[in-house]
Amino acid sequence: MTKAMTTAMTNKGDNSMPRVVTDAEVAPATYPFEIEATGLRVRAGRRMAVDGVDLALTTGVHGLLGPNGAGKTTLIRALATVLRPAGGELELLGGAGTREIRRRLGYLPQEFGFYRRFTVREFVEYMAWLKELPTADVPGAAQRAIERIGLADRADDKLKTLSGGMVRRAGIAQAIVNDPAVLLLDEPTAGLDPAQRMQFRELLRGMTDTCVVVSTHLVEDVAAACTDVVLLDAGRVVFQGAARELAAAGTDADAGDSPMERGYSAIVAMGGAR
Amino acid sequence: MTWHASPSLLRGYRTKDPTLRADAVWAVEVHLETCADCRAGLAAEVGPDPLLDQVWAALDLDHEPAPAPRRRWRWLATWATPAMVPWLATTALVTVIAFLADLVGSTSVSLALLLAPITPVAGVAAAWARGIDPAHEIVAATPRAGLYLILRRTLAVLVVLIPLLALTTWTSPVRWLLPCLVFTVATLALGGFVGVRRAAAGLLAAWSVFVVAPSLLIASPPAVLEPSALVGWAAALLLCATVVRLRADVYMRLDR
């Protein structure tokens, strides 16, 4: 569908500002996986924190589980293109250029740093500028993102006045302001209370046409919101599959309070024995 | 089209009159889609709908969303981050103190001139250093990150500091401007290898130990700030700029 046609259709019957749907938005994807890694190796300092990861992820919510030090953060950083892989191959969005990838990428790091004197809106708009959104679209996109994470009533408050949970949500707002095709969230539920975690899972379930990678050490987050699980241990993928397959891997003899936790323990223990 | 639906036909259409034949209903319907006059006629036939009035009243049309506050300073954030402000302020303060020390004549060498070359270093470090800029990691993952953004921020540092230096050194810029630019670009060049923060710290330490301290001890201006040293500084600038340009990719990644 051409740009002109789409505009005309949006325009028909009302005289509100039409949103121009670009060709890129309606073009069919020419790649099978948003994220495709083969033998990916990434260094964190001197240590090879990610050591030979094979991964193929498409749209859906993917939980990245693993014990502390398994390489989750390093892997997410490599996916966010802020760390250069030391080896192997990483293809994002069918091998687009770094800048093009970043325009369609949302990233919330584990330690979400922000400017305390900015308001939520200023910060999200600043990020929208950095993500090269057209200037005219910036205020609208920021407002949409802030509304989506339920922070509209605090949009013009300074970030330093916000509670920890609200700051995290502001972090998610900056990540989704450019309607990313790949959304990377590193420990997004840390510091959220149970009600906020439920709200966050609800937000995740709404992201059906995005490839979301959520790293977490909370097994119940994965059980509640993720379509599938990638289990990382010592820099390698030790399990990839649906959440119920992970639950099926555990037996009553394994440690844990839920089937998912028992499955998790069983697989991590297997990795340790190897 | 000259044919229009008669009021009686419209009434029959509206009340779903069973005597009206199906083909006539279709014809009216098709005609209504293209004829505004007949749609108006149908609307008049329907008359005001109390439910609709209720909905309009409830919508409170006077209530328009408050316009977003005008952010006059927003463009400024695209040049310098809030994290740079305290560093620039500290640098400016040190420069002014050096100037005041020169005024009272506590040293035989101009302290402001001695410190001029390393003045921008702290500001440049604040522009792109992990640990100084809290938002460094999310900014590094955006498409605008890279040489362009880092040079934009560096330019902001220079725009603030160079006029200040011109006043406080009170001497021809020939002596300090080029060294100043060399240290600015060297911070970036070296920062690509060891991290901008470490590079800034190293350059500050080196200049203090090898130039500032000896000059103060022997009480004579350093040879490197004489006009005859300009060729050397120009060569250094060229070298550092080349390194930065060739390694432009590292400024798209997380600072070390």
Give the closest-approach CA distance of A156 to chain B in angstroms. Answer: 9
Q: Is A172 on the interface with B (CB under 8 A)?
A: no
- Are A33 and A159 contained in the same domain? no
Each residue's pLDDT, cut to its tens digit, for chain A (274 residues) gives 444 444 434 444 444 455 667 776 677 778 889 999 999 999 998 899 999 999 999 999 999 999 888 999 999 999 999 999 999 999 999 988 999 999 999 999 998 999 999 999 999 999 999 999 999 899 999 999 999 888 999 999 999 999 888 999 999 999 999 999 999 999 988 877 888 888 888 888 888 889 999 998 888 888 888 888 999 999 999 999 988 888 888 888 888 888 888 888 888 888 755 5
User: Which residue spans within chain B are E strands per DSSP?
Assistant: none
pLDDT reported for residue A199: 84
Interface test with B, best of A82, A159, A177 (most B CBs within 10 A): A82
Sort residue A245 into left (φ over 0), alpha (ψ -120 to 50) or beta.
alpha
Using alpha carbons, select from B176, B196, B177, B172 the residue that is nearest to residue B186: B196
Distance CA B178, CA A114 (A): 35
- Are A266 and A155 contained in the same domain? no
Distance CA B139, CA B148 (A): 13
Report if residue A5 sits inside a domain. Answer: no
Tell me: the pLDDT tens digits for B79-89?
999 999 999 99
Give the closest-approach CA distance of B135 to chain A in angstroms. Answer: 5
How far from each other are the two terminal CA atoms of chain A, in whole angstroms? 54
Give the closest-approach CA distance of A183 to chain B in angstroms. Answer: 12
For residue B148, the tally of other CB atoms under 10 A from its CB is 12
Tokens of A176: 């989704």
**CATH code for position A267:** 3.40.50.300
ipTM: 0.85
- Are A171 and A186 contained in the same domain? no
Q: Is A272 on the interface with B (CB under 8 A)?
A: no
- Are A246 and A186 contained in the same domain? yes
- Are A151 and A91 contained in the same domain? no
Report if residue A55 sits inside a domain. Answer: yes
Report if residue A17 sits inside a domain. Answer: no
Tell me: the pLDDT tens digits for B162-199?
999 999 988 888 889 999 999 999 999 999 999 999 99
Tell me: the pLDDT tens digits for B119-138?
999 999 999 998 899 999 99
For residue B207, give Cα distances in angstroms to B32, B100, B110, B224. 84, 21, 15, 11
pLDDT reported for residue A197: 85
- Are A76 and A96 contained in the same domain? yes
Task: State whether B82 and A118 contact (CB < 8 Å).
Answer: yes
- Are A187 and A89 contained in the same domain? yes
Report if residue A130 sits inside a domain. Answer: yes
Give the closest-approach CA distance of A242 to chain B in angstroms. Answer: 29
Give the closest-approach CA distance of A204 to chain B in angstroms. Answer: 20
Task: State whether A127 and B134 contact (CB < 8 Å).
Answer: no
Q: Which domain holds residue A144?
A: 110-179
Task: State whether A139 and B68 contact (CB < 8 Å).
Answer: yes
Report if residue A66 sits inside a domain. Answer: yes
Interface test with A, best of B74, B142, B256 (most A CBs within 10 A): B142
The dihedral over CA atoms of B99, B100, B101, B103, expressed in degrees to the nearest 10, equals 90
- Are A36 and A52 contained in the same domain? yes
Tell me: the pLDDT tens digits for B3-21?
888 888 888 888 888 888 8
Report if residue A13 sits inside a domain. Answer: no
pTM of the predicted protein model: 0.81
Q: Is pLDDT at B239 greater than 60 in this prediction?
A: yes
Q: Return the residue of B nearest to A103 by Cα.
A: B143
- Are A129 and A168 contained in the same domain? yes
Interface test with B, best of A79, A105, A114, A130 (most B CBs within 10 A): A130
Q: Return the residue of A nearest to B140 by Cα.
A: A82
Quickly state the pLDDT bin for B139 (edges 50, 70, 90): very high
Q: How many domains does chain A have?
A: 2
Tokens of A52: 């030979």
Tell me: the pLDDT tens digits for B41-94?
888 877 777 888 888 877 766 655 555 555 666 788 889 999 999 999 999 999
Task: State whether B136 and A118 contact (CB < 8 Å).
Answer: no
Report if residue A16 sits inside a domain. Answer: no
Instruction: List all residues of chain A from 76 to 105 with a beta carbon under 8 Å from chain B.
Output: 77, 80-84, 98-100, 102-103, 105
pLDDT reported for residue A139: 92
Phi, psi of A254 (to 5 degrees): -80, 155
Task: State whether B142 and A82 contact (CB < 8 Å).
Answer: no
- Are A186 and A90 contained in the same domain? yes
Residue A215 host element (H or E): strand A211-215
